[in-house]
Amino acid sequence: MSATAASLAVLFLVAAVPLAPTEAVLIGAGVLAASGDLPLPAVIATAAAGCLVADLVNFHLGRKMGMRALQKLNKSTKARSMVVWTADQLARRGESILIAARFIPAGGIVGAMLAGSLKWPLKRFAPVAAIGSLLWSCYPATVGYVGGQIVDEPALAMLVSFGVATLLSVPVGMAIRARNATRALSYADASS
């Protein structure tokens, strides 16, 4: 197996495992793509395929366990805020929120589990999950790629890329958490 194939296989496996550090690995793969070690389109496609597998697993967990699947995620204020926000947005905006939620930490997991627990048909969920996975995969891969283009040293390029990703994602998560901090919605109450 070539180094490229091995790297893409590892990327797929990390992306396919829910709660694995996909963003960090994908940023690193983007840095490698900038140095010519990996083809950027293959990095994005591989990560998107792995993320889609993870979404389908989470969707099926939500379908089998219902809202109980989310109660396990609903233990901290941060997690509860994500669940409340995603459920509220999913009820209002449907499919588009599943794509947007992917860009928020744990949003892809919560969105997929909610769609499953709400008994969305797979033919409704899968195309949206595929689009969301592809668009989200473009984000960290491109951040890593740009970091690798700006800085020649791979370790420094990774640090710069992580810094940019953090500056982009942390304020969004904080705003959602602050907005939902006063809400008392629990999914045990919502499902009754």
Model pLDDT, residue 152? 79
Parts of the chain with a pLDDT under 70 = 72-76, 78-79, 158, 162, 166-170, 172-192
Q: Answer positive or negative: Cα dihedral of 17, 20, 24, 28.
A: negative
Nearest alpha carbon to residue 78 among 50, 105, 116: 105
Identity of the residue numbered 74: N
- Cα angle for residues 11, 114, 140 (degrees, 5° grid): 30
Q: What is the pTM of this model?
A: 0.79
Give how far Cα 133 sits from Cα of 6, 52, 189, Å.
Answer: 21, 6, 31
Model pLDDT, residue 189? 47
Nearest alpha carbon to residue 33 among 168, 186, 143: 143
